[in-house]
């Protein structure tokens, strides 16, 4: 893919796919960025709130289910856990109906809300299992010192949650960034994410198919999740191990 993205079309037509470019050019990359740049910024606008909100809600839910255990906590956790395994396709029509009646269908808030709905169960599971590994004596000591629900969460639990926050952020960002069907259905024409615009570039090109532009656009779309994994790899492994404690 990388080699092809730097080749002019005349060189690609010779058929030697694995040969290095004889006359490397950046023109395919310029054309690819011009085609998907709007989708890139749309994906950023979608991914940031769609990552932050589920992580915050999941952290609060996991903290409450692990330490405070209100009445019906097990039932609530079971419902959230079941929600993590509901196929996206099953919920599309009900969500379209709800968004249309709320007047937000085809907008940025609509796609963000949908990603929050589908992301919160998994985030809750991650944080609940992570907090299950925290000694209960730490929570009891904070209670004896007069800490309430939010004070203990903000001053005690949240600072020690960095490993699982990194894991949750990586999983949610990559899930949102790589999503195609939800962005296609809910985002609206002006907010289409990068994956949808990549599909448009590859499948709606008229005339000669520009393989070098297609390869460059694909690499640009995959660059963000790949960079996140490379940069945060050791945190991801550490957080997964910490969050795998059986609750």
Q: Which domains does the chain have, with CATH numbers?
A: 2-11+25-242 (1.10.3720.10)
Point out the residues of the chain with pLDDT beneath 70: 205-207, 236-247
3-state helix, strand, coil in the chain (%, to 5): 75, 0, 25
Backbone φ and ψ for 111, nearest 5 degrees, come out as: -70, -35
Give CA–CA dist 6/25, Å, rounded: 5
Instruction: Give CA separation, 162 vs 127, 135, 239, in Å.
Output: 11, 17, 8
Is the separation of the CB atoms in 161 and 61 below 8 Å?
A: no
Q: What angle do CA 177, 115, 235 make, to 5 degrees?
A: 55
Torsion angle of the four alpha carbons 111, 117, 123, 129, in this order, in degrees rounded to the nearest 10: -170
Residue 167 CB: number of other CB atoms within 10 A?
24
Query: 226: Cβ–Cβ under 8 A, 6 or more apart, which residues?
Result: none
Tokens (6 digits) for 30: 């310029």
Say what the pLDDT of residue 246 is: 44
Is the separation of the CB atoms in 123 and 54 below 8 Å?
A: yes
Backbone φ and ψ for 147, nearest 5 degrees, come out as: -75, 135
Say what the pLDDT of residue 43 is: 95
Backbone φ and ψ for 145, nearest 5 degrees, come out as: -75, 0
With a threshold of 0.75, does the pTM exceed it?
yes
Q: What angle do CA 232, 234, 237 make, to 5 degrees?
A: 105
Tokens (6 digits) for 154: 């903000």
Is the separation of the CB atoms in 159 and 210 below 8 Å?
A: no
């Amino acid at each position: 893919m990388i080699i092809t993205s730097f080749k002019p079309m005349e060189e690609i037509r010779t058929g030697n796919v694995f040969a290095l470019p004889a006359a490397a050019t950046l023109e395919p990359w310029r054309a690819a960025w011009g085609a998907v740049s709007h989708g890139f910024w749309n994906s950023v606008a979608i991914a940031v709130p769609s990552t932050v909100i589920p992580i915050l809600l999941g952290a609060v839910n996991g903290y409450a289910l692990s330490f405070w255990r209100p009445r019906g906590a097990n039932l609530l956790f079971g419902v959230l856990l079941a929600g993590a395994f509901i196929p996206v396709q099953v919920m599309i029509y009900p969500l379209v109906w709800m968004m249309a009646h709320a007047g937000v269908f085809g907008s940025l808030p609509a796609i963000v809300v949908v990603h929050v709905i589908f992301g919160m169960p998994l985030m809750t599971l991650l944080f609940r299992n992570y907090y299950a590994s925290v000694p209960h004596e730490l929570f009891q000591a904070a209670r004896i010192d007069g800490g309430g629900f939010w004070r203990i969460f903000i001053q005690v639990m949240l600072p020690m949650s960095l490993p699982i926050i990194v894991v949750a952020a990586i999983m949610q960002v990559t899930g949102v960034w790589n999503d195609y069907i939800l962005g296609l259905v809910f985002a609206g024409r002006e907010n289409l994410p990068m994956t949808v615009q990549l599909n448009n570039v590859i499948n709606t090109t008229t005339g000669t198919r520009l393989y070098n532009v297609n390869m460059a656009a694909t690499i640009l779309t995959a660059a963000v999740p790949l960079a996140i994994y490379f940069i945060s790899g050791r945190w991801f492994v550490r957080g997964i191990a910490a969050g795998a404690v059986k609750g």
